Homo-oligomer: A and B are copies of this chain.
Amino acid sequence: MKHVGIVGLGLIGGSLALNAKKHFANCITYGTDLDSTHLKEAQELGWIDKELTTANFPQLNLLLLAIPVDALQEQLANYLDLLGPQGLLIDFGSTKAALCQQLKNHPKRHQYLATHPIAGTEFSGPQAAFTSLFEHKTQILCETEKTAADLLDHAVSWFKKMKMQLIVMDPEEHDKHIAYVSHLSHISSFMLGKTVLEKETDQSTIFELAGSGFESTVRLAKSSPEMWTPIFKVNKPYILETLKEYINNLKNFQNLIEDDNFDAVFQEMKTINSIRGVLEGITNKNSTYGK
C-alpha cells in the first residue's frame, strides 16, 4: 500500500495524482487545495481518494507540493517537519535556489527532493490535468546528493515510468537559465497581448487580421497570474537581467529601422535564424541522468 499526499490540485498536482494512480499498485491519494471546490472536483474526477489532513502525514510515502512558488517558500519547511521517517517530500516549483537554501540545515533535508518539470499548458485547475502531461518532458532535479539514496531512487524510478528526461542542475544555475528560456517568454507574450489589446479596442479587427503567428506568439498571455506573479517575485534578479537585455535588443532593432539600416536588419534576422537548429534540438533532447 502506498500513501501519496498532494498539495495543490491544479494542472501539475492533478497530473501527478493521475500518474501515482497509474504507476503505484494499491495507491491511496490524499489531496488538499486552498480552493475547496478543487478538492471536490478532483474527487469527482477520480484521482483524489481522500482529503489530506494533518493526521495523514506520518504515514505518507510521498508528499507532492504543486503550489505557487511563494506558498512553497512559506510552507516547505513546515511540511517537511510533518513527514514520518519513510516519507519523501518533492516540490515541483519553477524556481529552486531559495527553496534549497532554506532547507540546507533542516534535520530532514535527506527526505526532500527539489524538482522542476518543464511541462505545462496555458490552462489551470483540476480539469486541466491529464496523465501524459509529463511524457518526454524534462524533469530537472537539484542537489540530488542531499536526498537519501533509496528515496531518490524511488522518485527517479517513478519519473522514468512517466517517460520524463531527467537532468541534474545546480539550483542557482537553474533559476538563472530558466529566466531566459521560460520566464522571459511569458513576459514577452503578456506585453505583446497588452500592446495589441490597447490598440485594437475593436476586437473584431484582431479576429480578422490575426494569423497563426500572432496566435502562437501570444498564447502564453493566457497563463495564470496566480502562478506567474510569485515566479516573477521570487526570481526577480534574474528576470530583471533578462528583461533588460530583451528591451535593449528591441531598442537596437528599432534604431536600425529608424536609421534605414536595412542591411543590418537583414543580417540580424539571418543570424537569429540559427534558432531553427535549437528548436529542432528541443524536440530531440538527451537525458544526462539515469541513462
Contacts and interface: CB of A to CB of B under 8 A. Distances in A.
B217 A137 contact: no
A272 B193 contact: yes
Contact of A191 (B119, B220, B246, B282): B246
Interface in A206-249: 206-223, 225-226, 228-229, 232-233, 236, 239-240, 242-247, 249
A194 interface: yes
**Central interface residue in A207, A226, A236, A268, by most chain B CB within 10 Å:** A207
A187 interface: yes
Interface stretch (A3-11, A15-23, A34-42, A174-182): A174-182
B209 A118 contact: yes
A177 B200 contact: yes
Nearest to A209: B181
B239 A243 contact: no
B232 A265 contact: yes
Interface stretch (A46-54, A78-86, A151-159, A250-258): A250-258
A275 B288 CA distance: 38
Contacts of A119: 211
A184 interface: yes
Interface string A95-110: 0000000000000000
A291 interface: no
A196 B184 contact: yes
B257 A206 contact: no
A120 B276 CA distance: 17
Interface residues of A, number: 98
B236 A282 contact: no
A2 interface: no
Given A213-B220, A216-B220, A207 B285 contact: yes
A167 interface: yes
Nearest to A252: B191
A229 B118 contact: no
A217 B215 contact: no
A55 interface: no
B228 A269 contact: yes
A266 to B, nearest CB: 4
19 contacts: A118-B209, A177-B200, A184-B196, A187-B253, A190-B269, A194-B249, A199-B242, A204-B286, A207-B285, A214-B282, A216-B217, A217-B217, A221-B273, A225-B267, A225-B270, A232-B265, A244-B254, A247-B254, A250-B250
